[in-house]
Structure formats: C-alpha cells, structure tokens
C-alpha cells in the first residue's frame, strides 16, 4: 500500500515515515465533531478545534490516507491570494472587508510557519515571496494592471509591487523577462511533510483519524461510511475536489486537474544560472496558470493546468498523468530555464482541485443543523485551507475573532449546471485560456477571449 501512496507525487515519494493507512473506523461510534477528509482543510479544522476546546471528541474520516488529495500533491505555494482577486471580494462586500479578507490570508501564510515550528513539522518552509515574471508586453500590461488595482484597493508597496527587468531577473533568470510582479506573502513548502506532520500534531492533541474509511453521505448529526456510522453534533465537509463522491453533492464543486513534474537535483552551476536563491515561488503572467518552486533538495517542481475536465465530474487517475499535458509542462519549464537542458525529469503526477461555480472560496457553519464546510479553493488552497480550518474551528466553538465575520464566511456558490452544460462550459473555458495564450504569443497583443471567459463565468 505504501508504494501506491508514494507514487502519488514527488512529495509523498520523499516524505519521511511510512504511508500505511491508520486503522479504519471499527464500527458505529459517537463524537462531538466528525470531519470528512484529512487534507489541509479537515486537519487544520481539527487542529484548531483541539486547541480551542481540548475536551472535544474529534474524529476525522479519510477514505485513503491523510494527504491523499491535493494537500499531498500541490505546488507547495502557501499563497496570500485566493482563486478570486481582492478586487472581486471588494465588489461583493466592501473595500475594508476585502482588505481584511486578504490580510487574514497573509497572516495564515505566517501562521503555517509558526505552527510548523511549534509542532516540529519540518516542512521546508521558506517565505521567499512570489515572482510573477512578465515575458511579453501583454504580460507586463497584465502585471501592471494587477498591481495598480491592488494599490488602489489599499494594499501597500511592501505587500505587492511591480518590478523592472533587472529586479525581476535578480529573483530568477527566466528567459525573455522584461519585468514582473512580486507578492511578499508567499512561502514555499513541502506539501506532504506539512499534511503528514499536521495529522501527527492533531493526534498528539487527542484527535482520532480513521483512514481507509469512505463516507457515502451525511445529514445533520450523522456521517454514513462503509465501516459504520459516526454520530456527532457537528459534521464538517472538507472533501474539496472529491465532494462529488458524497450523496447529493455531485454539482457542488467541479473537480479540475492540475499536473506537475519534478527534475532531478540540479547542480550548483545550473542554480548559479537560474537563481531563485531564497526559494521564491515563480510563474509568468500567462492566462493558463503555471507555477513552480525550487525545492529544499535543489530540484525544480513545476506544474500547470490544461488537462480536460471529465464528463460527469469523473475523477480519473489516468487524467492525472496525461502524457501530452506533462510533455507540455516539461516543455514550458525548459523554455523558462534553458540551463536545465540535460536535467532528467524524475517525477510526473497530478491531482484534482475543487472549482465552485463562482470561483469564490467559502467557509460556513450552520448552528441549527450542525453542518459545516470549507472549500472551493481552486488552485490556491494551501494557505486558504489554513485560514478556513482556523475560522471553522472558531465558528464551531462560538469564538468570535477577526476571522469570523470575513466576507467569505457563509458565502454560498450556486451549483454547477447539469451535464452536458458543465462539460461544455468548463472545457470551453480551458480552451479559451490556452488559445488566448497562443494568440498572445503569435500576435504580441492581449486576447479578448479571456474577458469573455470571465464574463461567462460571472467573475
């Protein structure tokens, strides 16, 4: 079993300790809080609940092992941005609320480092920020607009700033760089070390984690699993890209794929050419998201979107490893850094993220039913799940804080359309993003397709 789980990602392949499943739920049991899903969202919720009220009986139910999902496979950016922009939050609430929402996430990025230290989780945390290179005039325009809008909202130059070509290249030597954007509140981490360490920290505080336990559905005060029922006053759904597996939840979050590769450890000579000292996370400002980090053991871990959404929200291991998409990602990486020309790619993997209909992440707790949920993070869930878990724990224990009245608390996205509309809409959007990038590369001008896409999605 361990070998199967190790093969899920470079991160699981290099995490210390066994990956054997913890004991499954032994039959019916009672708890105060039952949490479905042992990724960052479920485990941060359990962790903060155990701090706020050590007397609570908290049970986490996980179909596979802790970190099986996106939390053990991601790009390792603990990122101070959501799937929607701070300006979109302001449009839906107010300028002040959007700034509080944004800065709460910046705090969560720092908090991950603090908890990792306190709990002795060696997750290779390095707060080097995010360099988003502009590698064409269109990308530079996009970076400028993004920084200007954030400054107009009230974010400071220390938090986000535009870079000239020399400054942008000083972070890392990507080809064709003519400028860039830099966001300070971003740390690189080793995702599996964080999620596995967090599971152990929860257990040290009395949380019980049952792995190999598949939940089929839930209702107020009870979770149904293949191993028995858990009766609990509070039930938390923390299943993100896999939410469709729960009865009645097929259209809540669409599973969207993101795929990654990792190189072998690179020589000092190659690193001298590439840079990235201080381990900033990196991307460029194209429409189809790409993301990378320099790992603590001297590799490049790099990913991108572009694999298709599958009809009926199907989740499929073969799509997580599509050769054509991995080839494209590898090609993009070699285009960014020609210095890696001879470097071997040692790992290829992928996973699913949860896409809400309006792209807006949320946390919610309804005291009258005892039902809670956190998710819809798309590709920005590492730090967001930390904030979500902290907030959910406060909502559940009735602890008021600067987090419990943020705009995303209680937000609900409407369900996705039934098929085939969902399939056509999501894959149409993916096609528009990649064809806009091709058009931009060809013509050197921005593409209207992206504006159209955003309008269609209601963003």
Residues that bind ligand FAD (CB under 6 A): 36-42, 61-64, 68-71, 73-77, 79, 214-215, 238-242, 245-246, 258, 260, 291, 303, 350-353, 375, 377, 379-382, 385
Q: Are strands 179-183 and 186-188 parallel, antiparallel or unpaired?
A: unpaired
| Cβ nearer to ligand FAD, comparing 370 with 376 | 376
Strands 58-61 and 29-36: parallel
Nearest distance in Å: CB 338, ligand FAD? 24
Find the shortest distance in angstroms from Cβ 189 to ligand FAD: 9
DSSP one-letter code for 320: G
Q: For ligand FAD, give the closer residue by CB, 108 or 147.
A: 108
Sheet containing 290-294: which strands, arranged edge to edge? 160-163, 179-183, 130-134, 281-284, 290-294, 300-304, 254-263, 345-355
Nearest to ligand FAD of 76, 429 (CB atom): 76
How many other C-beta atoms lie within 10 A of the C-beta of residue 341?
8
As measured in angstroms, the least distance from the Cβ of 386 to ligand FAD is 10
Nearer of residues 3 and 341 to ligand FAD, judged by Cβ: 3
Q: Which two tokens stand for residue 270?
A: 């190659």
Q: How far apart are CB 219 and ligand FAD at their closest, in Å?
A: 14
Identity of the residue, 41 or 313, whose beta carbon is nearer to ligand FAD in the bound complex: 41
d(CA 244, CA 235): 17
How does 49-82 read in b/e, with b if 16+ C-beta sit within 10 Å?
Answer: bbeebeebebbbbbbbbbbbbbbbbbbbbbbbbb
- Determine the Cα–Cα distance for residues 432 and 451; give it in Å rounded to an integer: 10
Instruction: Tell me the closest approach of the beta carbon of residue 94 to ligand FAD, in angstroms.
Output: 25
Say what angle helices 191-204 and 95-118 make with each other, to 10 degrees. Answer: 80
Q: Which is nearer to ligand FAD, 90 or 185 (CB)?
A: 185
Residue number with the smallest Cβ distance to ligand FAD: 381
* Residue number with CB closer to ligand FAD (260 or 439): 260
Contacts with 184 (C-beta within 8 Å, 6 or more apart), sequence order: 80, 129, 158, 159, 160
User: How many whole angstroms from its chain centre is CA 361?
Assistant: 11
Q: How far is the CB of 293 from ligand FAD (least distance, A)?
A: 8
Least distance in angstroms from the C-beta of 57 to ligand FAD? 19
Helices (H), ranges, 362-420: 382-397
Say if residue 248 is exposed, middle or buried (CB neighbours under 10 Å; 0-12, 13-18, 19+): exposed
- Nearest to ligand FAD of 41, 173 (CB atom): 41
């Amino acid at each position: 079993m361990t070998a199967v789980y190790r093969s899920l990602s470079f991160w699981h392949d290099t995490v210390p300790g066994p990956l054997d499943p913890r004991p499954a739920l032994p039959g019916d049991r009672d708890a105060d809080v039952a949490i479905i899903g042992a990724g960052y969202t479920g485990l941060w919720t359990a962790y903060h609940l155990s701090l706020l009220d050590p007397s609570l009986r908290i049970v986490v139910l996980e179909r596979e092992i802790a970190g099986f999902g996106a939390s053990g496979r991601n790009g390792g950016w603990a990122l101070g941005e959501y799937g929607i922009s701070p300006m979109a939050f302001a449009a839906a609430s107010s300028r002040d609320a959007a700034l509080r929402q944004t800065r709460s996430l910046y705090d969560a990025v720092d908090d991950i480092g603090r908890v990792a230290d306190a709990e002795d989780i060696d997750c290779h945390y390095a707060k080097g920020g995010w360099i988003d290179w502009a590698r064409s005039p269109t990308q530079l325009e996009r970076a400028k607009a993004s920084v200007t809008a954030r400054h107009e909202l009230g974010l400071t130059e220390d938090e986000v700033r535009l870079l000239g070509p020399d400054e942008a290249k000083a972070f890392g030597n990507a080809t064709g760089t003519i400028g860039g954007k830099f966001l300070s509140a971003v740390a690189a981490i080793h995702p599996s070390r964080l999620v596995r360490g967090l599971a152990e920290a929860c257990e040290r505080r009395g949380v019980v984690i049952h792995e190999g336990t598949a939940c089929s559905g839930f209702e107020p005060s009870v979770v149904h699993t293949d191993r028995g029922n858990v009766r609990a006053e509070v039930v938390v759904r923390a299943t993100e890209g896999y939410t469709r597996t729960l009865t009645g939840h097929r259209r809540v979050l669409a599973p969207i794929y993101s795929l990654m590769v990792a190189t072998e450890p690179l020589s000092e000579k190659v690193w001298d050419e590439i840079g990235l000292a201080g381990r900033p996370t990196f991307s460029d400002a194209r429409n189809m998201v790409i993301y990378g980090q320099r790992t603590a053991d001297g590799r490049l871990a790099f990913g991108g979107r572009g694999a298709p959404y599958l009809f009926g929200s199907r989740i499929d291991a073969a799509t997580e490893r599509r050769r054509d998409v991995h080839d494209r990602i590898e090609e993009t990486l070699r285009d960014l850094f020609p210095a890696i020309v001879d470097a071997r790619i040692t790992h290829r993997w992928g996973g699913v993220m949860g896409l809400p209909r309006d792209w807006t992440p949320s946390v919610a707790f309804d005291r009258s039913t005892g039902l809670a949920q956190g998710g819809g993070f798309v590709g920005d869930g590492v730090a967001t799940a930390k904030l979500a878990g902290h907030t959910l724990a406060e909502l559940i224990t009735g602890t008021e804080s600067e987090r419990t009245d943020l705009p995303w608390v209680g937000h609900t996205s409407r369900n996705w359309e039934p098929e085939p509309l969902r399939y056509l809409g999501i894959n149409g959007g993916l096609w528009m993003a990649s064809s806009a990038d091709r058009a931009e590369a060809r013509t050197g001008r921005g593409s209207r397709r992206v504006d159209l896409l955003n309008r269609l999605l209601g963003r």
